[in-house]
Amino acid sequence: MNILHIDCSPRPESYSRQLSAAIVQKLLEVVPGASISRRDFSAAPLPHAAPDYATTLSSPATLAAPLRGALDLSEVLIREVEAADVIVIGTPMHNLTVPSVFKAWIDQILRAGRTFMSTPVGKMGMLSDRPVFICIASGGVFAGDRANQPDFLTPYLSEVLGSIGLKTLQFFPLQATAFLDRDQATSAMDNALATIDLTVMAKARRPVTVKGA
Q: Encode pLDDT of 159-208 as tens digits.
A: 999 999 999 999 999 998 888 888 888 898 898 889 898 888 877 765 54
pLDDT at residue 127, as a whole number: 97
Q: What domains appear along the chain, each with residue ranges and CATH number?
A: 2-203 (3.40.50.360)
Q: Encode pLDDT of 147-159 as tens digits.
A: 889 999 999 999 9
Confidence of residue 210 (pLDDT cuts 50, 70, 90): very low
pLDDT at residue 205, as a whole number: 60
What residue type is assigned to position 175 of the chain? Q
Query: Is 85's pLDDT higher than 60?
Result: yes
Q: Is 96 left (phi over 0), alpha (psi -120 to 50) or beta?
A: left
Average pLDDT of the chain to the nearest whole number:
92
pLDDT at residue 209, as a whole number: 46
The sign of the dihedral angle between the CA atoms of 59, 162, 4, 18 is positive
Confidence of residue 111 (pLDDT cuts 50, 70, 90): very high
pLDDT at residue 145, as a whole number: 85
**Bridge partners (DSSP) listed for residue 92:** 137
DSSP E strand stretches across the chain:
2-7, 35-40, 86-92, 116-119, 122-125, 132-137, 169-174
Q: Encode pLDDT of 59-79 as tens digits.
A: 988 998 888 999 999 999 999
CA-to-CA distance for 122 and 117, rounded, in angstroms?
Answer: 8
Query: Is 104's pLDDT higher than 90?
Result: yes
Q: Which whole number is the average pLDDT over 130-159? A: 94
Query: Is 212's pLDDT higher than 50?
Result: no
Confidence of residue 144 (pLDDT cuts 50, 70, 90): confident
Query: Is 42's pLDDT higher than 80?
Result: yes
Please tell me the pTM assigned to this model: 0.92
Select the more confidently predicted residue: 52 or 205.
52
The fraction of the chain above a pLDDT of 70, given in percent, is 96
pLDDT at residue 206, as a whole number: 57
